[in-house]
Structures are given as structure tokens and as C-alpha cells.
Chains A and B, each alone.
Chain A
């Protein structure tokens, strides 16, 4: 994985020292909150519902065991013993003390981490397919390009005060696991007819109060032009994006208002002025970054593993886990393992310091010391020899990290909601806990099959409800929590926005409502159909009838 060079190390250390002085001046009353707010946000420190909240970037979702141990240390030393993995491949701590924040950032810097680009109207932490480098369907590792974008965007003087925040996601595989169509810029690597690898550039996707699926403005961009092309898009956005209305300030609104064709024209016009210039990427530069993402030293592994075969028949829990949480790896004899942060009754995405330490140890033992963080709020061990699966399953079971539900009804993604967030209108975590308790029969969960529930506690949509097969949006109705239900969303290659099913339901009724929707699917489905397939075939009516019939 990428290691800091001297430039990175010096830069991050200088930022910590600078912030330490800013905190000192704030505590001494030399800076007002108005003056200080932007400074702390540039370091990822928010003032949230309960206290200061620190958001730490996990660039392209890749962590070393050493870094994960530091995240555990921070949870224990500076917070209440746990952290929350978010839909943006970040981790958040909820009770950070301002006067301890500089020491915390120095600890993070010691393992090449920080909270930069996790707040403010800049280019945010770039996200990637969490199976980068190991997925069998991958063309090339997207993290190489994420790191190149990171180096270009960090402290970019022209793009430090954009109209609004700006999110970029990259996938190197045809099956989109990075939700590239709902980002400000989505980048999809593919091969053109000549067999060359390049990028499809998708612009203007996003969720929030005005959800949009991104539009392709360039079907194929040769690799060396990536940065100049991104620079052209950002310049067009910086010039024409709206600064007069916060709710219309994202690039998706600009693309929507002027249309994809006009957006393309403006970007191409800008690009013509800068292409082939200083941002042109020499092959040697790309190769030097790529060298930091070389695969680990895989060894030849046995074809069959007798213990796996025995356990598969003897242990239903292992058989289910193997089916949902273990995925094929590009290297024979290896597997990609999802560690579920969605245990029955647990808050989605939360991990305790003890769990983080234990996962770091397991990564060292079974996965070349590497861990991934997914936008679906789970962890991944990317490089596990199949022969180690039984031992890993036992260890993860003891840690409550082996719930066999990856991609299933209880693998829901969920924002912090009103339990933690100043912006929220309703709670989301308790609803997700009740859902995992309701769907706690694993045989039933597996029968229901692939089903993504995504829930947000407000219209800002951090829980991606618009692209949930079932989306839940918390709303406040006269001081009571209600939940609006959408069906039919998807964030994958077949991206679509969910449609509102009908009137919002009360907190007391929402779990029953989800169960009714699931039961309707089970009654309507044809052999082999996922929830989304059935919904797309039969439409909303059968669901509406069953759900609202009694009302």
C-alpha cells in the first residue's frame, strides 16, 4: 500500500503543528468561534450533537494493521472506546475534546493518517471499490488513480473554496462496488475497442435533497489525461456552480440545469486549453505510484481444503458465512472476507477498540496485514488463504464479526441519525437495530436473498436511502419520528433512484412495514429473482396494496 514520502510526512506534521497553535489561540480567546470554525473543519473536527466529532480519512478504504491499531488506541485514549465507520470510507469519533485534538492528530500522523479533506468545500477523501486489487472482475487497481487524485487535490489552491463539497469515486471493475454514479465525479475504468484501458467520466451524480444519477460526459479518457480532465471539470464547476443557494450548489444541479451536452461542451472547451500541459501524467509517474500497490507475496495454496468441506456440512453458521461473507479472489487459493459490522441488535458500522485491535491481529495473521473499509460500513480482510477460513471464522465469531449477512436484509447501511447528528430529524440506528432483531432468523435472511436497506435520519441522505432497494428516510412530523419508504433504488452498475411508496409510517410501524414489503416480495418473486428484479417487474402496486390496505 501507499506509504508517505518525505513531502507527505512534512506536510501532515506541519498541519498538526499549525492546528496545535490554532487550538491554543482559540482556548486563550484569541480566536472567535467564527474565525476558528473553518480551521477546525479543515482538520476534520466538527461540533456535533454531543461534542466535537472527528472524522478521519481512510483514503480509498485501505488500512494497514498498524493504522487500525492506532484507530483503536484513539477510540480508547481520546473517546469512549469505539468508532463509527461511515458510508464515505471514514471513521468518526463522537466525543473528542478540543484541547486533546492536537495530540490525537499527532498520533494519527505517526501512522500516516489525518482528518484532512473530510470536511469543507474542497475535494473530499477519494473513495474506491473496497475489493480494489483483489476482485476477479477488476481491470486495474483503482487505488493508483485515487492516490494520484489525492496528491493533485490536497491543498489545490484553486479548489480549496469550491461552491460546495466535492466527492470523487473510482472503480476499476465493470461491477460497480463504489457507487460511482452517485458521486460528483464517478470514474469507471474500462477497455475501449482497441483494448486500451482508460476512464469513463461520469459527472453530476449525488444524493441529498435532490438525488441525481450522474451523466457520462466522456465515454473514454486515456489515462495520462486524467488530471487535466478533472481540472477542467472542477474549473467549470468553480466558475458556474451556484454560490447563492446552498441547496443548489452541488455540481449535480449545474449539470441538471445546463444539461449533459452543454456540460460536456464547457468541460471540453476548458480542457482544450490545458490538456497536454503540466498535468499530463508521464508513464514513470504512474508507474511509481502503481509500484506502491503491488500485490502481496501470494503463495501457492492447496486446491481443496478438507476442513472447509467438513465444516460446511457440519456447521450451518459456517456454511452461511462461506456463502455470503467469503468472496472469490483473483488469486487461486485466496478469498476476500467481509467482517460484518451489522450484528443482530448492534449499531451498524460501530466497532469497539477491542474489536479493532483483534481485527488488526487477524489481518497480520491471515491477510498480509491489510484491512479494507467499505462504504457499506463493513470491514474486509482482502487476502485470506482459503486454508485459513475455518480458523478465521472461529476467531470472528468470538468477536461478533461473523454474522453471515453481507448483502442481505440485515446488512443495512445507516447514518448516525438523531442519536449523534445535529442535522438529523429522526433516529436511524435504533430502527436498524430493531430490523436486525426482527430478521434474526438466518435461514430466513438467506431465503430472502440479496436485499439492500439503506436508511438516513434526514434529507441529506448520508445513509444513501435513495439508492436502497428499500430506502428509509426519517422525518419529523410534529415532534414525532416518521419514516418515508422508497423502493427500487440501486447504487450499482444498474443505478436507479427509489420511488416513494406512499405516506410515511410511524416509528412503531416501520419495522412491520419493512417486513410486509419483504413478505410481498416473497409472495411475488419468480425463481432466481432478487428483490430488485421483482420490484422492477411488478412495480410498486403490489407493495402499496399490501402495506396500505389496512390503513
Chain B
């Protein structure tokens, strides 16, 4: 990423009760869609997001909040790194049930 671009950041965590990957939204809730993330455009705003996340971690809402680099897209922010793209969208290949379905196995 070139240095001229502002570094956009969003806050992610896992929801405590079910472990789902979640993102902090502009209204302070946690969404499972990365596109609904609130974007921090400078460090001070990013620190505020992290503080908010740490508060929700302390009150047993989420686990392990951390900031990630984001890019702006047509459908809202998206993750910059491959790791976070996979985290946001799920595994990048068909899972076993898809393979089983492909060979005609009933998938309950």
C-alpha cells in the first residue's frame, strides 16, 4: 500500500457467545458483515474504536478486539489482507458437504 493513501482501519473481534467474526458499526453495535464497519481515517479515531472494543471485551460481549487495515469498496469497507478477507468471507474453497453434494450425497 502506498504511503500517500490514508490508512483506513476498522475494528474486528469474535462474539463471545458463538465465536462469530464481528465488526464494530457506526452505532456501536457489532455486525457480522464487514461492509457495515465504521471506518477510522486517522489514528485518534482508530484508538477510540479500539477503546470501545476493549470496553465490550471487558463486559463479555466480544473477545480479542483488534484493528485491521481496510479498503473502501462499493459495498462499504473491506479487508486489506488476505487473512482478514478469508476471516470476513469464510474459507476460500468448497467444504466437504459441497463435495458430498457434488457426488449426490444427501446433505441433511
Q: A residues bordering B, Cβ < 8 Å?
A: 26-29, 32-33, 47, 49-52, 76, 80-83, 95-99, 343, 345-347, 350-355, 358, 398-400, 418-420, 424, 427, 429-430, 433, 479, 481
Contact = CB atoms under 8 A, between A and B. Distances in A.
Interface in B73-96: 81-83, 86-87, 90-96
A490 B21 CA distance: 39
Given A354-B105, A355-B100, A419-B86, A47 B57 contact: no
Interface in B16-38: 16-21
B95 A27 contact: no
B93 A347 contact: yes
Nearest to B20: A51
A358 B97 CA distance: 14
B96 A352 contact: yes
Interface stretch (B2-10, B41-49, B58-66): B58-66
Contacts of B60: 26-29
A29 B105 CA distance: 43
Given A26-B16, A95-B19, A400 B103 contact: yes
Contacts of A51: 14, 18-21
B18 to A, nearest CB: 4
A80 B94 CA distance: 12
Given A354-B100, A481-B82, A80 B18 contact: no
Contacts of A358: 105
Contacts of B99: 343, 345-347, 350, 352, 400
Most A Cβ at <10 Å: residue of B14, B57, B91: B91
Contacts of B97: 80-82, 352-354
A354 B101 CA distance: 10
Interface of B: 14, 16-21, 57-60, 63-64, 81-83, 86-87, 90-97, 99-100, 102-108
Contact of B64 (A47, A418, A430, A481): A47
B17 A347 contact: no
A345 B107 CA distance: 18
B108 A81 contact: yes
A418 B83 contact: yes
Contacts of A47: 14, 19, 63-64
Contacts of A50: 19, 21, 87, 90-91
17 contacts: A47-B19, A47-B63, A49-B83, A49-B86, A50-B19, A50-B90, A51-B14, A51-B20, A81-B108, A82-B95, A347-B94, A347-B99, A354-B107, A427-B86, A427-B92, A430-B92, A433-B93
Contacts of A343: 99
Which of B19, B57, B99 is the most central at the interface, judged by chain A CB atoms within 10 Å of its CB?
B19
B108 A419 contact: no
The 9 lowest CB-CB distance pairs between A and B, nearest first, are: A51-B19, A350-B96, A82-B96, A29-B60, A419-B91, A97-B18, A52-B19, A352-B100, A400-B103
A99 B86 contact: no
Given A50-B90, A50-B91, A98-B16, 18 more contacts: A27-B16, A27-B60, A28-B60, A50-B21, A50-B87, A51-B14, A51-B20, A81-B95, A96-B19, A345-B99, A352-B96, A352-B97, A353-B108, A358-B105, A400-B100, A418-B83, A419-B86, A427-B86
B87 A49 contact: yes
B86 A418 contact: yes
Nearest to B104: A398
* B57, B58, B108 — most chain A CB neighbours (10 Å): B108
A76 B96 contact: no
Contact of B17 (A27, A95, A345, A351): A27
Contact of A99 (B17, B92, B107): B17
A41 to B, nearest CB: 13
Given A28-B60, A47-B63, A50-B90, A350 B95 contact: yes
Contact of B95 (A76, A80, A354): A80
Contacts of A76: 108
A29 B59 contact: yes
Given A400-B105, A418-B82, A33 B95 contact: no
Contacts of A355: 96, 100, 105
A430 B93 contact: yes
Contact of B96 (A347, A398, A419, A420): A347
Nearest to A45: B19
A354 B91 contact: no
Nearest to B105: A354
A347 B92 CA distance: 11
Contacts of B83: 49, 418, 424
A351 B14 CA distance: 26
Contacts of B58: 32
A358 B57 CA distance: 43
B5 to A, nearest CB: 15
Given A98-B19, A346-B99, A354 B106 contact: yes
A426 B79 CA distance: 16
Contact of A97 (B17, B81, B100, B102): B17
Nearest to B80: A479
B19 A399 contact: no
B105 to A, nearest CB: 5
B58 to A, nearest CB: 8
Contacts of B17: 27, 97-99
Contact of A81 (B16, B102, B107): B107
Contacts of B59: 29
A398 B60 CA distance: 47
Contacts of B96: 81-83, 346-347, 350-352, 355
A424 B94 CA distance: 19
